[in-house]
Amino acid sequence: MPLCSFSLPSPVADAPSQRVRTFRARRGRLSDAHHEALATLVGRWGLDAHGEPLDLAATFGRTGPVVVDIGCGMGESTRVQAAGAPGSDLIAVDVHTRGIATLLRQVQRDGATNVRVVLGDAVEFLEQRIDDEALAGARIYFPDPWPKARHRKRRLVQPVFVALLVDKLAPGAFIHCATDDMDYADQMLEVFGAEPRLQNPFDAFAPRPIPEAHDRPVTKYERRARRLGHPVRDVWVTRRLWV
């Protein structure tokens, strides 16, 4: 796999000609270990967010199902699901440098051959680097809920994004979302339900565990949500085999 280098995503002010940002820029302090991971481990496990479409078989050294984890945070669920499904390959994408640096260190420690990481905007990564119908699935766990009414346009799960994501899914591929914001959970059901290429086998929120899925782990974020009394909802939809 060719070497790549990460550059820090920069916040962009809203303007009519610019895409609405779906994330808050965070600049957590990087330790020496984080800097070392970004400098030394990217060539083994990193992928550029921008460029030509990836040859996924060449990227992972094999042909198999590829799942993208959008907004992977510190990579806790990515690591667990990669270990639990060694036959699948995972691409973890996040805009926050500290989380990606942490995940790089953990992937190195795990010796995980089926994980690649991307520091950058998932929308741009999907647009540029993933061919249509190339993915076996996508996971979006606890995306920023943007709870204020005037900010809801910033939520990731919007019709335009979902249409792009479905373009990248193979027939039968899945989208698995989880959130502890009930308004956002309802919006997910509505947006996915309005996309004609998707179907919801449960006609509502998905049960836990989901029979069709490698069940997602309970992460630090979810444990905190539960302590605060926030119910957590899962949404599971698949791309129709025929439309």
80: CATH: 3.40.50.150
Residue 16 lies in a domain: no
Give residue for tokens 């899962």. Answer: 234
Provide the number of structural domains found in the chain: 1
Indicate whether 212 pLDDT > 80: no
Residue 24 lies in a domain: no
Are 225 and 163 spatial neighbours (Cβ–Cβ below 8 Å)? no
Higher pLDDT, 225 or 26: 225
Are 138 and 27 spatial neighbours (Cβ–Cβ below 8 Å)? no
* From 144, 167, 183, 186, the catalytic residue: 144
pLDDT in tens, 118-143: 999 999 999 999 999 999 999 999 99
What is the maximum span of the chain, computed from C-alpha positions, in angstroms?
51
Residue 2 lies in a domain: no
Bridge partners (DSSP) listed for residue 117? 46, 92
pLDDT in tens, 36-91: 767 767 888 999 999 999 999 999 999 999 999 999 988 999 999 999 999 999 99
Indicate whether 16 pLDDT > 70: no
Residue 41 lies in a domain: no
Burial pattern 150-180, b for ≥16 Cβ within 10 A else e, equals eeeebbbbeeebbeebbbbbeeebbbbbbbb
Indicate whether 20 pLDDT > 60: no
Residue 7 lies in a domain: no
Determine the Cα–Cα distance for residues 127 and 121; give it in Å rounded to an integer: 10
The backbone torsions φ and ψ at residue 62, rounded to the nearest 5 degrees and listed phi first, read -165, 165
Domain range for residue 164?
54-239
Residue 131 appears among annotated catalytic residues? no
Give the DSSP per-residue string, 53-93: PP-HHHHHTS---EEEEES-TTSHHHHHHHHH-TTSEEEEE
Bridge partners (DSSP) listed for residue 66? 89
24 confidence band (pLDDT: 50, 70, 90): low
6 confidence band (pLDDT: 50, 70, 90): low
Determine the Cα–Cα distance for residues 236 and 200; give it in Å rounded to an integer: 7
Q: Which pLDDT score is estimated for 17?
A: 39
Q: What is the pTM of this model?
A: 0.87
Indicate whether 3 pLDDT > 50: no
Residue 38 lies in a domain: no
Read off the tokens for 101.
């640096």
Q: Dihedral of CA 49/55/56/59: which sign?
A: negative
Beta-carbon contacts of residue 53 (< 8 Å; ≥ 6 apart): 128, 129, 130, 131
Residue 104 lies in a domain: yes
From the centroid of its chain, how far is CA 230? 22
Residue of 213, 225, 221, 57 whose CA lies nearest to 235? 213
Are 82 and 114 spatial neighbours (Cβ–Cβ below 8 Å)? yes
Residue 26 lies in a domain: no
For the chain, give the percent of residues with pLDDT over 90. 66
Higher pLDDT, 32 or 136: 136
